[in-house]
Structure 1
C-alpha cells in the first residue's frame, strides 16, 4: 500500500466541469435569489457547443461574433485549454516537477538588482527607472515580462527561470524585492492605461487611458501578458491585488465597451486566476448582468443548479455536451453492483499547433496523452483529502 501511495500521481481533470469548482461550494443565500431574477428576465440557458474552444484574445482565437438571435448563434463552449491551465495554477501545480535548472534563486537575485535579465543583459533598476512611459519598448520587447513576473511554469523566454516554493518564501520575506515587484506592476499598469491607487491593490483609469485602452484593445498579445501578471501576483503574495484589476477589465470590456476585444479573455482566463471561489462568483455575477447577448453567457452555475433536473440539455457553464438520459433504477443498481474497482481515465492535451497559430515558438510536437489507473477507494480518499486542503 505504501508503494501505491508513494507512486500516486494526481489525476488531472479531463473536462471543463472538473476544472471549475466556482459554483460547487456556493452556499451564499443570495444565489437562489439571483438565479430567480435571471430566470424572470427571460435569460435562456441553452447554448450550443462550438467548433473552437479558444477564447478571443488567447492562443488560437478564431471565435466569430455573437448575434442577438439564439437561432443564429455560432456554436460556443468554454475553453478546456484555459480551464485546465488555471486549474493547475489555482491548485499549485499538483503534478509539478522540479524546475529544469538548479535552484539558485535567480528571480530573487534579479529583483535584488544583482543579476541582469537574460538574454538582454538589463538590470531591473534600469527597467523601473528608464522604461516607464517608453511604450514602444514595453510593447515590442518580449523577454522582460518573464523576469518581471516569474511563475512556476516555463514561459516563452527559455533563459528565464521558473519559481520554486523555497524561492517564493524567500521572495515574500525580502522587502527590497517586494518593493521593486510592486514598482514593476505599476509600470505595466501605466502601459495599459491604469494607475495603482493604494497598497490594497485598488486601480482606476490613468489620465492617458483613452489612448492606452485603444492600443490594448488592438494589441491582443498583451492579454497573455496580463494573465501572467495576475498569476505572478498570486504566487508572490499579492492575491488581493488581482480582483480589483479584473473587475476594472470587466467594467471596461462589458459595461463601458472600451475594451470589447478583451471580454472573453477576462472571463476565460483572468477571473479564473482567483483562488477563492467566492471571489470568482462575485466577478461572474457582475459579468452576467452586462454580458450581451445574455443567453450566450457560459460562465454561470451549471444546469443542475438552475432547474434541479438531470439530463435536460446544456446551459451556462456547460461544455456543450448533452447529458445522457437517466438510467432506469433496476439497471442502475445492477451496474453499480458490477462496477470495477479500477478507474482508468485519459484525455488529449493541447496540441502544439494551436500555440503555433498564436505565434508561440519552441513547440516540437504534441504533449503526451495522460493515462493511468487508480484504486477506486484510494483515489477517492486522496482526492477528498486534497480538496479539503485546497478547496479551489
Structure 2
C-alpha cells in the first residue's frame, strides 16, 4: 500500500470537464458538502463545455434569429485549470521559505512596507479609503493586501506558504487588518460589509461606483484575487455572499452587465464547496439571457428532464453497445421501408 501511495503522481487536467466537479455529486437537498472539490466530474455535452468562439465546420442549416444561429460559445480552459489548482491547494507546489521570511505576515503586522512603494499597511487603511483615483491607478498594492500562493504582477510581493497561512490565521492583529483591507476594497467597488459572517450589500455610493466598475474591467481580475485570498486566509464563508451580490447586480439589475462572464467563469469557481457553487449557478441560470447560452449548468443527464439524446435525464450514464453488422443492416432495411411507405402516403394526397 505504501508503494502505491508513494508512486502516485498528480495528473494535470486537460479539459474543462476534468477541472470542474461542481455537478459530480449533485443533490436536490444541496446540503453543504463535508469536503472540498474532488476534481472529478461527469462528461458535459458540447453545448455545456463551450465559451468563446463558433465551432469550426458546423454547416447545419440554421434559421436567422433562432437560438441555434447564435455562435457556439466555450468555457475557458485556462480559467478552469487555474481555479482547479487553487481549489486543490496547488498540487505539486514546492515551498521552501523559513518563518523569518514571512513578508506577507510582517506587512500585515505593520513591520515592513510594501515594495516598491514603501507604504505601510496602516497608511493604506487610514489614508486610502475613499481615495478612488489612487486605488484605481496604483497597481502594486493589491498583491500585498491580498496575498496568494501564486505569483502576481508585482514580483516584489512574495507568495504565501502553508506555514505562513497558519501563522496569519492565528494572529489577531493581522486578521483585523485583513478584514479592514477587504472593507476598503468593497467600498471602492460600491459595496459594504455588513457583519462578521461576510454578508454584503450596496453601499451608499453604489451608483457611481458600479458605473465605474462596469467600465473598469481590470478590477475584475482584482476581485478574483480578493476572493482567492479570502479562502487562503480563513474567510471561505465570505465568498458566497459577495459572489451572489455580483451575480444579482450583473444578471438581475443590469447594473454590472459587463461583469456577467467574469462572475460565472471565475468568481463562482473560487468557491471550494461544490454545493455552494451549485446554489449560485442555479440562481444565475434563472436570470441568464439568452437562456440557451448558459454554459455552467449540469450535464444534461443531471437536469431531471426525460428522454432524448445521449446521456439524457434519467440515463444511467452507460452507453449502449455498438450495433453488430447484422443489426445495422436490418436497421437500414427498416429505414428504407419506412421511407418508401411515407412516399406512397404523400403521393396519395
State the TM bucket, normalised to the shorter chain. 0.7 to 0.9
SS of the equivalent of 2:201 reads strand
1:292 aligns with: 289
- Structure-1 separation of matches of 2:11 and 2:307: 29
Check the 8 A contact 1:190/1:206 in 2, yes or no. yes
- Give how far 1:326 is off: 5.4
1:24 aligns with: 24
1:193 aligns with 2:190: yes
- Give how far 1:6 is off: 3.6
1:69 aligns with: 66
Determine which of 244, 255, 263 is the counterpart of 1:247: 244
Determine which of 151, 176, 193 is the counterpart of 2:173: 176
Number of equivalent positions: 297
Check the 8 A contact 1:250/1:263 in 2, yes or no. yes
2:322 aligns with: 328
1:230 aligns with: 227
1:137 aligns with: 134
1:266 aligns with: 263
- Give how far 1:28 is off: 2.4
1:158 aligns with 2:152: no
1:13 aligns with 2:13: yes
SS of the equivalent of 1:152 reads coil
- Structure-1 separation of matches of 2:258 and 2:172: 37
Check the 8 A contact 2:48/2:297 in 1, yes or no. no
Check the 8 A contact 2:198/2:237 in 1, yes or no. yes
- Structure-2 separation of matches of 1:73 and 1:231: 33
Q: 1:257 to 1:242 in 2, by over 3 A?
A: same
Q: 1:250 to 1:50 in 2, by over 3 A?
A: closer
Which protein is bigger by CA-based radius of gyration?
A: 2
- Structure-2 separation of matches of 1:68 and 1:174: 58
Equivalences for 1:72-87 in 2 at 5 Å?
72-87=69-84
- Give how far 1:266 is off: 0.3
Check the 8 A contact 2:47/2:72 in 1, yes or no. no
2:218 aligns with: 221
SS of the equivalent of 1:244 reads helix
SS of the equivalent of 1:75 reads coil
2:344 aligns with: none
Residue ranges of structure 1 left out of the alignment (5+ in a row)? 32-44, 54-66, 316-322, 332-392
- Structure-1 separation of matches of 2:26 and 2:311: 22
Q: C-alpha deviations, 1:37-82, integer Å up to 9, x for none?
A: xxxxxxxx956945549xxxxxxxxxxxxx9731331120111111
- Structure-2 separation of matches of 1:283 and 1:165: 29
Determine which of 297, 310, 315 is the counterpart of 1:312: 310
Check the 8 A contact 1:46/1:313 in 2, yes or no. no
- Structure-2 separation of matches of 1:47 and 1:199: 37
Q: What root-mean-square deviation, in Å, do the aligned CA atoms of Structure 1 and Structure 2 show?
A: 2.9
1:114 aligns with: 111
- Give how far 1:304 is off: 2.5
Check the 8 A contact 1:46/1:314 in 2, yes or no. no
- Structure-2 separation of matches of 1:4 and 1:30: 34
Check the 8 A contact 2:16/2:49 in 1, yes or no. no
- Give how far 1:95 is off: 2.0
1:336 aligns with: none
- Structure-2 separation of matches of 1:256 and 1:3: 56
- Give how far 1:13 is off: 1.2
Q: C-alpha deviations, 1:274-330, integer Å up to 9, x for none?
A: 111110011011100000001111111012223577973999xxxxxxx9x855288
Give the TM-score of the pair, scaled to structure 2: 0.78
Residue ranges of structure 2 left out of the alignment (5+ in a row)? 32-45, 55-63, 326-349
Q: 1:143 to 1:304 in 2, by over 3 A?
A: same
